[in-house]
C-alpha cells in the first residue's frame, strides 16, 4: 500500500530496500545502468515503457497496477556528456524529437486498465529445460578433455569450412545444431596452423559462441565467451576479428547493466578502425556500421535519446558507404533492424512501426534476421498496446525460425498475451511452445 504522497521513485527505492538489493542489482535485473536506476529513484527519470514496467513489477514483487498508479516526474532527465562521434552528427540535437516522444506516450494511460486487470485462474511459469550449451560450458570449465576428438585430423581448410558452417547455422537459426557442434569445432581450430592462425580461428569461433549465448539467454556464457574471443583476437592480430570481439564484450557489459561502459567499448572500437589503413575500406566501413549500431542500441537502453540517434545515423552512413563500395545491402539492412530496436527502447512504438513498414522482411537475407525483425515488431506493438498485431508478428517469427520463440523476450511477450487468450486463438499453445509452463 502507498499513501498519497509516495512517488514512483520513492516507492521503487523503498521496495528495493525491503528486498535488501543494491541499485546495481535492480538495474541489472532490468538491463539498465546504475545511473539510470539512481535517476528513477530520485524521480528524475520517467518510466513509460510497459514491458519495462512489467519487469520492474516482477522484480520488486508488486503488481504492475500498483506502479501505474504512482505519480512520476514531469522533469526531463539530465543528459550526461558523451564522446563526440563526429563533428557533423553530434553538433546539433533535435528538439522536435523531444516533443515527438511526449506525443507518443499517451498509450500508457489507455493501456493501464487492461494491464491492471487480474488474469482469472491463470498462473504461468517458465519451463525448465537442460541447457543446450552444456558442451560449451564443459569446454570452458574443464578444457578439451571432455570434448569428443574430431573424427578426422583437422586441417586449416576443414577448420575454415566448419567456421562457414557455424555462421550458416546461426544465420538459419539452427541454434541446437550449432550448440552441439561448436565445442568440437573450437577444439579442432586450436590444433592446426601457426600460433597466429590458431588464435584468429579460435577467436572467430568464440565470437560465434558469444552470439549464440546471447540467443540462448545465458549471460554468464556471453561474458566468458566474449572474453575468450577478445583474448584470442589480440593474439591473432586481425583488426576486424578484434573489433567483432570488442562488440561481443560490449554486449556482455550491456547485459550486466553497465550501459555507459558498453557504449564506450564499441564507439572506441569504431574509432580505432577509422584510422587502421591495414583493413580494406569496404570491410572497415561495414564493421564500423555494426559497431555504431550496437552502440546506438545500448545508448537507447540507457535513455540517451540524442546520443542514440546520432550513433544510428553514424551507423547508417558507414553501412551505406560500405554498400556503395561492395555492392551489398546487408549492412544497411542490419542497421535498419538496430534502428527499429532503438525506437522501441526509447519508447517510440509508433516510430518503430513506421520504420518497420519500410522494411521488406522477405528481402532480409537470413532466417535469423527475419525472425529478429518480426520479434522487434511484436515488441513495438506490445508497447503500443496493440496485442493482436503483436501476436501475429510473433507467429510470423515462429514460422520463419521456430527456435527463436524460445528466447526470453518472446516468453515475456507470450506471458502478457495470455491475458487476451479468448481474443487470440491459439495463444496458450504458442506460449507453451515459447517455454511458458501453464500451472
How does pLDDT run across 409-418, given as a tens digit for each residue? Answer: 898 899 989 9
The burial class, CB within 10 Å (0-12 / 13-18 / 19+), for 429 is exposed
Q: What backbone torsions phi and psi does residue 80 show, to the nearest 5 degrees?
A: -90, 145
CA–CA distance, 299 with 175 (Å, rounded to integer): 28
What pLDDT digit, counting tens, does each position of 142-157 carry?
999 888 877 789 999 9
Percent of all residues in the chain with a pLDDT value above 70, rounded to a whole number = 85
Catalogue all structural domains in the chain, each as residue range(s) with its CATH number: 1-78 (1.10.260.40), 131-255 (no CATH)
**The cell 517510440 sits on which residue?**
348
Q: Are 420 and 387 in contact (CB under 8 A)?
A: yes
As given in the structure block, the three cell numbers for residue 310 are 546520432
The predicted pLDDT at position 5 comes to 65
Q: Is it the case that residue 67 has pLDDT exceeding 70?
A: yes
Q: What is the pairing mode between strands 124-126 and 436-438? A: antiparallel
Q: Are 199 and 232 in contact (CB under 8 A)?
A: yes
Tell me if residue 221 falls in helix, strand or coil: helix
Question: Would the pTM of this model clear 0.75, i.e. be above it?
Answer: no
Percent of all residues in the chain with a pLDDT value above 90, rounded to a whole number = 56
Using 50, 70 and 90 to split pLDDT, how confident is the model at 4? low
Q: Is it the case that residue 170 has pLDDT exceeding 50?
A: yes
- Tell me what the mean pLDDT of segment 198-203 comes to: 98
As given in the structure block, the three cell numbers for residue 107 are 498509450
CA-CA-CA-CA torsion sign (401, 243, 180, 197): positive
Amino acid at each position: 500500500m502507498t499513501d498519497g504522497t509516495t512517488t514512483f521513485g520513492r516507492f521503487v527505492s523503498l521496495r528495493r530496500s525491503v528486498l535488501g538489493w543494491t541499485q546495481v542489482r535492480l538495474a541489472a535485473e532490468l538491463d539498465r545502468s546504475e545511473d539510470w536506476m539512481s535517476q528513477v529513484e530520485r524521480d528524475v527519470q520517467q518510466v513509460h515503457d510497459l514491458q519495462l514496467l512489467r519487469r520492474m513489477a516482477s522484480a520488486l514483487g508488486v503488481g504492475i497496477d500498483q506502479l501505474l498508479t504512482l505519480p512520476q516526474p514531469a522533469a526531463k532527465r539530465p543528459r550526461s556528456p558523451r564522446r563526440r562521434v563526429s563533428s557533423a552528427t553530434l553538433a546539433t540535437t533535435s528538439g522536435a524529437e523531444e516533443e515527438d516522444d511526449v506525443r507518443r506516450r499517451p498509450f500508457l494511460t489507455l493501456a493501464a486498465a487492461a494491464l491492471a486487470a487480474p488474469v482469472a485462474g491463470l498462473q504461468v511459469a517458465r519451463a525448465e529445460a537442460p541447457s543446450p550449451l552444456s558442451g560449451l560450458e564443459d569446454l570452458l570449465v574443464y578444457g578439451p578433455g571432455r570434448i569428443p576428438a574430431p573424427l578426422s585430423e583437422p586441417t586449416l581448410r576443414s577448420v575454415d569450412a566448419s567456421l562457414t558452417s557455424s555462421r550458416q547455422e546461426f544465420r538459419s537459426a539452427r541454434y541446437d545444431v550449432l550448440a552441439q557442434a561448436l565445442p568440437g569445432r573450437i577444439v579442432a581450430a586450436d590444433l592446426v596452423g601457426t600460433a597466429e592462425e590458431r588464435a584468429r580461428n579460435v577467436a572467430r569461433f568464440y565470437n560465434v559462441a558469444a552470439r549464440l549465448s546471447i540467443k540462448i539467454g545465458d549471460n554468464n556464457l556471453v561474458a566468458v565467451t566474449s572474453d575468450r574471443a577478445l583474448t584470442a583476437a589480440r593474439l591473432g592480430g586481425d583488426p576486424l576479428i578484434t573489433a567483432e570481439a570488442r562488440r561481443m564484450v560490449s554486449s556482455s557489459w550491456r547485459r550486466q547493466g553497465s550501459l555507459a561502459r558498453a557504449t564506450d567499448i564499441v564507439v572506441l572500437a569504431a574509432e580505432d578502425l577509422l584510422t587502421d589503413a591495414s583493413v580494406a575500406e569496404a570491410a572497415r566501413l561495414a564493421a564500423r556500421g555494426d559497431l555504431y549500431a550496437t552502440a546506438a542500441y545500448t545508448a537507447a537502453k540507457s535513455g540517451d535519446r540524442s546520443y542514440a540517434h546520432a550513433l544510428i545515423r553514424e551507423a547508417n552512413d558507414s553501412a551505406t558507404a560500405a554498400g556503395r563500395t561492395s555492392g551489398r545491402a546487408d549492412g544497411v539492412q542490419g542497421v535498419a533492424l538496430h534502428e527499429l530496436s532503438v525506437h522501441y527502447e526509447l519508447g517510440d512504438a509508433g516510430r518503430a512501426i513506421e520504420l518497420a513498414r519500410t522494411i521488406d522482411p522477405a528481402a532480409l537475407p537470413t532466417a535469423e534476421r527475419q525472425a529478429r525483425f518480426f520479434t522487434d515488431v511484436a515488441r513495438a506493438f506490445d508497447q503500443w498496446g496493440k496485442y493482436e498485431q503483436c501476436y501475429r508478428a510473433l507467429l510470423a517469427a515462429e514460422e520463419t525460425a521456430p527456435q527463436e520463440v524460445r528466447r526470453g523476450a518472446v516468453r515475456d511477450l507470450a506471458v502478457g498475451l495470455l491475458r487476451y487468450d479468448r481474443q487470440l486463438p491459439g495463444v496458450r499453445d504458442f506460449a507453451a511452445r515459447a517455454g511458458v509452463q501453464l500451472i
